[in-house]
Amino acid sequence: MNKILLSCLSLLFLAGIVFSQNPKEDGSYDLKAFLDAVAQKAKKTLIYDTSMTGRKVYISNIPWDKPEELHRLFLSVLEHSGHFLETVGNNQEIWKIKRNIQGPWTQTQTIYSLEELDKIKDKDQFVTMIIPIKYLSAKEIQSGLRALRFINPQGGNLCVMEGSESILITDFAPNVKRVYDVIQHLDKKVENSPIALEGQTIVLPLEEDRQIFLSVYECKNISLSFAKKDNSVLAHIDEGKQGIKLGMCPFIQEGSLYHFSIHVLNTGLAQCNIRIEAKSGKDSADLWGFTLSRFLQEGKTIRFSIDFQNLKKQPKTP
């Protein structure tokens, strides 16, 4: 009888060694001891850093005799402590515990107005805000903000609400306020104000010994047509084409006047560059250039013309 009692006491003592801190009434455990105990029961090799030591976790009703439930609890404890599990080996015999740099998931407060944002704009807390876009393309704004790295890469997020022209942003409150201010600055009604070039005819010199080249490049959110005087199209750039380079001399022999038409595809930033240069041998000179980079309304069309005029060489005086 004494031997049986002694054996039971020994088992309890060993359990205390494996699980360095026995469960208390409040369910308090040493985190490292809990992880070690689960890994030993699952017959896995566990790798972790010192961030696991000296920490407590509160757990109730541990399913020690149910392996699948115990494993789910193990993963939940890791997530709660800001870590995740990575397995190695064909049989996942090695468990590596890594820190989750994005931190444990927590539910964020959702706000809908500037008044709500102003109340927390200086607080160090995660929030989600829905920002409606009135005039510009939400996708264009999203692309610009991401390219400029306005969003916190370790947990922040920004997406477009399809069909509603709204942007949903999750980040720390001060950064949400900064993004909100940028969006309000950009999202303004776009007036179809005239472009200085619109409706104009540009006269360019033409010399017999020089080759004329037209270049159109860095096109975005526009379609462009280049046509003869009779409106027969010589070149066209659509949404998927970035640019062209065209030798003009064969066409200039047929007539000197040419028409350009730039059509804005979507409300937002419209861009293109047009350059006309004259070359003679290795020498090159710019005759004319135009750069468009403006927020314009969908359907806006800019038309202008180029007129090449012959400049006869003056005879040299003896």
201-206/301-310 β-pairing: parallel
Distance CA 51, CA 69 (A): 25
pLDDT of residue 91: 78
> What confidence tens digit (pLDDT) does each residue in 108-123 have?
788 999 999 999 888 8
Residue 174, SS3 per DSSP: helix
What pLDDT is attached to residue 21?
Answer: 41
Rounded Cα gap, residues 261 and 254, in angstroms = 20
User: What was the pLDDT predicted at 115?
Assistant: 92
- Determine the pLDDT at residue 298: 84
CA dihedral (9, 11, 16, 22) in degrees, to 10, reads -80
* Count of all residues that appear for the chain in the document: 318
Looking at residue 186, its pLDDT comes to 79
Find the angle CA(277)-CA(281)-CA(287) to the nearest 5 degrees. 15
- Say which CATH topology domain 7-99 has: Phage tail protein beta-alpha-beta fold (3.55.50)
Q: How far apart are CA 34 and CA 160, in angstroms?
A: 43
- Write down the pLDDT at residue 122: 86
pLDDT computed for residue 15 by the predictor:
44
What CATH number labels 109-186?
3.30.1370.120
End-to-end CA distance of the chain: give it in Å, rounded: 137
Q: Which residue ranges of the chain lie beneath pLDDT 70?
A: 1-27, 100-107, 147-148, 152-155, 162-163, 189-194, 239-240, 242, 253-255, 311-318
Global pTM value? 0.44
Domain range annotation of the chain: 7-99, 109-186, 201-310
Q: What is the pLDDT of residue 294?
A: 79
